[in-house]
Structure 1
Amino acid sequence: MTTLLVIAKEPRPGRVKTRLTPPFTPQQAAGLAEAALADTLRAVAAAPAARRVLVLDGRPGAWLPPGFDVVAQCAGGLDERLAAAFARCTGPALLVGMDTPQVTPELLTVDFSGADAWFGPAEDGGFWALGLAEPDPGLLRGVPMSTAETGAVQRRRLVDAGLRVRDLPCLRDVDTAADAHAVAALAPGGRFAARLAGCTAAPPASGPGAAR
């Protein structure tokens, strides 16, 4: 059975979701990050897994449900931290972040019997999920992170290694206020949508003149 990994940052004001400020305050942004993480962990908790691991930058809080092992992120760039998370695993592993609170247990239930890797692209050009039947940290080290080409480079790395890659649906990360409203609409019953509804920021403008 698969190990499910969640890589996350402790939702503290000023440290998470800084691109949401403005229009939201740092406290609101941290609250939205906490809700997104809680929704993600709830989905992971409901998916079948051999082990559930939170790879955390910071300390766990009341948002952490039971059933998770918590390990600290290593130092270095995101590629090194992702690689180190996979290095802790033996057997199939699927890693997700905390930016897609619309994720469901069904999306996290992957079958490696016909695949060596699972890849979940994100709308911004990155990726929201990466699964490896045989975790190899070298498949992530050196991939440029947080660019519009990150996902394409990472997927090409998998293919070039001769792996059979299967794709998960493309999801939208929550980075901006526009993302937050769009994602909340996709999962209106989640904690993220409820927390967003309680924020005082106005919805982003729409139409030809809207900022992107």
Structure 2
Amino acid sequence: MSTFEHIRTAVITLLRAESVAFDPPPRSLARSAFTRRVERVEMRATGVPIEDTDIVLARLDLVAEDVRVRFSLRGPALDVGETTFAATLTQDQLSTLVPLPPGVDRLSVTRRGFTFHTVAGIPIYTSVSLNDSKLVVAPSAPAKVPLLDLIGIDIDMPQLPVRSGLEQLTRFGLTFDLPELPANAAIERLQLHDGHVVVSGTADLNSANAT
């Protein structure tokens, strides 16, 4: 097995990915390996599963910097100075990953935050922030009946028992754990887009050497 194939296989195994595309491409990367150092390697992984779920990441991009190839009797191994990642989650995936309160059947994502859609058709608008790898959603506007609100009748959502998860969401907000990602990924940032979110941070590709 070539130096590049050995390393590619180790990265695929670490990420549990179906495939990983490299930039620089395989032939250039293999030649660079003989210098023992590559300043920057970009990777795009497909088919990466989310821990303890049946969900596959929509997209996972990684950038490894100061990559050195170390040779030993066990074969070539990577020494990576730093690896950053960006993982994309669609709103359909989030609707599955986030434990929605009873009475909420799905959520949608915009650049402004999450909208929780209740089975009664009442949207709950929230702002979203990241705190210690947890999603924190807080109500950004009173929940109202859409049609009545549209024609100018201001009717808030009926009050529910405080113990209700839906009432907790509308009054105080909720905190959700984010899923675990491979390669000891530490989620540090969250970007909202229409229809999806991107979580990013640092990962550890050096652990690929243990595979």
**Normalised-by-shorter TM-score class:** under 0.3
Query: In proportion to residue count, which structure has more strand?
Result: 2
Higher relative contact order (CA closer than 8 Å, sequence separation 6+) = 1
What is the TM-score of this pair, normalised by structure 1? 0.27
Normalising to structure 2: TM-score of the pair?
Answer: 0.27
